């Protein structure tokens, strides 16, 4: 059985009748992330792409900027991931003192300030680039859904997909029990592949959009984010502050644009 799927005995009730059965559930386990042997954070995640997850987290938190800063990334004896920095590269001690703790549901607790994000990255997004057509946005949910292999078997994972903004082609996708983990895995893969910034791409999410997901998109240079679900008020405020295009409730041929409508071809009027 795959490491990210577990088989559990259950008691199934149907039309008043009960029976013993087996069910597949998504695995959720802790992952310790360390830098040069020093523990940095623990995240509850679905196993798989752990190295990408670690790199994506450190990049989106502003702790890493370039792949050349990493000498090696290995699994240590406790089963976690240890990132060894290149010679002359160091993370400030106070960064470790922050004592990060991540959960599969809420992301990095305590990072709820647009001002903190502005100080961390000050992203400079082109106002009307990339241009994205409404049909392209409408097609994203189905294209992402077709790539959700673990969700098909468990029904218990979030997904994040990276799409070409012009063609709408799915370039890569990741699944995880945590929304922010799925995005970190994508960003980590792009970081490792030297593809950043992702200024020609769309980030599409299978669920809702919270502040930390907009934060991660901005750190990666992504200017267009869409989702099947709703954005939070802070996600919208952040998108508007930095000029990011944010689309929510993308279902069928309908969707809402909460920020950055100028990038959507066919949009009429301007946002206040």
| 106 belongs to the catalytic site | yes
Phi/psi at 148 (nearest 5 deg)? Answer: -90, 75
Which tokens go with 126? 């082109």
Q: How far is CA 270 from the centre of its chain?
A: 28
132-153: b or e for each residue (b if 16 or more CB lie within 10 Å)? bebebbbbbbebbeeebebbee
Residues of the chain below pLDDT 50: 1, 99, 103-112, 152, 270-272
Q: Rounded to two decimals, what is the model's pTM?
A: 0.86
Helix (H, G, I), strand (E, B) or coil at 184: helix
Residue 272: per-residue pLDDT: 40
Which of 235, 253, 254 lies closest to 245 in space, CA to CA? Answer: 235
User: CB neighbours (10 Å) of residue 98?
Assistant: 13
d(CA 68, CA 59): 12
Question: Over 233-263, what HEC string results?
Answer: HHHHHHHHHHCCEEEEEEECCEEEEEECHHH
Task: State the sign of the Cα–Cα–Cα–Cα dihedral 19, 24, 26, 28.
Answer: positive
Residue 11: per-residue pLDDT: 82
Q: pLDDT tens digits, residue range 188-222? A: 999 999 999 999 999 999 999 999 999 999 999 99
Cβ 245 vs Cβ 234: under 8 Å: no
Which tokens go with 188? 């980590």
Annotated catalytic residue: which of 12, 106, 109, 121? 106
160-178: b or e for each residue (b if 16 or more CB lie within 10 Å)? bbbbebeebebbbbbbbbb
Domains of the chain, earliest start first: 132-265 (3.40.140.10)
């Amino acid at each position: 059985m795959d490491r990210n799927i577990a088989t559990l005995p259950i008691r199934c009730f149907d039309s008043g009748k009960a029976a013993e059965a087996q069910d597949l559930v998504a695995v959720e386990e802790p992952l310790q992330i360390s830098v040069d042997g020093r523990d940095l954070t623990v995240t509850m995640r679905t196993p798989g792409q752990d190295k990408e997850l670690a790199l994506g987290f450190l990049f989106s938190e502003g702790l890493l900027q370039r792949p050349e800063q990493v000498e090696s990334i290995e699994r240590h004896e406790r089963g976690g991931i240890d990132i060894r920095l290149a010679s002359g590269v160091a993370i400030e001690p106070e960064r470790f003192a922050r004592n990060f703790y991540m959960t599969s549901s809420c992301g990095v607790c305590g990072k709820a300030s647009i001002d903190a994000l502005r100080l961390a990255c000050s992203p400079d997004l082109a106002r009307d680039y990339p241009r994205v057509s409404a049909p392209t946005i409408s097609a994203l949910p189905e294209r992402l859904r077709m790539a959700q292999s673990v969700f098909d078997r468990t029904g218990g994972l979030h997904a994040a997909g990276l799409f070409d903004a012009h063609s709408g082609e799915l370039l890569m996708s990741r699944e995880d029990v945590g929304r922010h983990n799925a995005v970190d895995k994508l960003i980590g893969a792009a970081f490792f592949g030297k593809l950043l910034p992702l200024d020609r791409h769309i980030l599409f999410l299978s669920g809702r959009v919270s502040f930390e997901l907009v934060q991660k998109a901005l750190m990666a240079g992504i200017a267009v984010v869409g989702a099947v679900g709703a954005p939070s008020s802070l996600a919208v405020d952040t998108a508007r502050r930095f000029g990011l295009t944010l689309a929510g409730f993308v279902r069928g041929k309908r969707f809402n644009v909460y920020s950055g409508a100028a990038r959507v071809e066919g949009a009429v009027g301007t946002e206040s």
